[in-house]
Structure 1
C-alpha cells in the first residue's frame, strides 16, 4: 500500500514539473510579451478626434477625402469603426444611434448617423 502512495506522489510531482516546464517553454522568463497594437487609422479616411461618441472610444468621425466623398452627406455624420459590420462596436452604434452602414474602406466600417437623431438614453436610465 505504501508503494502505491509513493507512486501516486511521484506521478503528481512529475506532472507538476512537466506542467511548469511546458509553461516556461511557451513563454520564457524575461521574454517580452507583445500587447495588441492599437488600430492604426488610415490617413485616407481623415479621422477626426480621439473617439466617437466620446474620447477614447474605438470609432472616429471621418472627414472629407477621396475615400469618404461618396459617403458624406450634409444631413448626417460619417463615422468609422475598426473591423467588420458584425463587430460589437459597430452593432452598438447602429442600435444606439439608429444608424446604418454605408460602406467599408481600409479595414474600417463606415457608418452614417442622421444629424436629426438624438441618442436614446442607456437602458439603465429609461
Structure 2
C-alpha cells in the first residue's frame, strides 16, 4: 500500500513561489484600496465564478478580517503575498 506523507500532499497543492496573480484595477471597492480584482490565468480559472468577483488582498493587510466580513468574501487560495477571495456580487 502506497502511503503519502502530509509533506508530499502539501507540495502537490502549492503554487510556485514566484507566482504573482494577474491583478487589475486601482483597488477593489474603491480606488486606492489594497485589494484588487484578479484576472483569469491557468491557476485562477478554477476559482472564477460568474456570480462572484475574484479578489486578491495582501497577506499583511491590516483590516483583512473587516474586508471579509463587510463583503461576505470566502478565502479560496493563498499565493505568495496574497490571499485570494471569492466575493459574491449582491
What TM-score results when the alignment is normalised by the length of structure 1? 0.52
Give unmatched runs, 5+ long, in structure 2.
Answer: 1-17
Give unmatched runs, 5+ long, in structure 1.
Answer: 1-41, 118-126
Q: Counterparts of 1:89 and 1:46 in 2: how far apart (Å)? A: 22
Aligned-CA RMSD value: 1.9
How many residues end up aligned between the 2 structures?
73
**1:24-68 residue CA offsets vs partner (Å, 9 max, x unmatched):** xxxxxxxxxxxxxxxxxx874111111111111101000101121
What TM-score results when the alignment is normalised by the length of structure 2? 0.71
Q: Which has the higher contact order (CA 8 A, sep 6+)?
A: 2
Structure whose alpha-carbon radius of gyration is higher: 1
Structure 1 residue 63 and structure 2 residue 39: aligned?
Answer: yes
The answer to which structure has the higher helix fraction is: 1
Q: Counterparts of 2:43 and 2:34 in 1: how far apart (Å)? A: 19
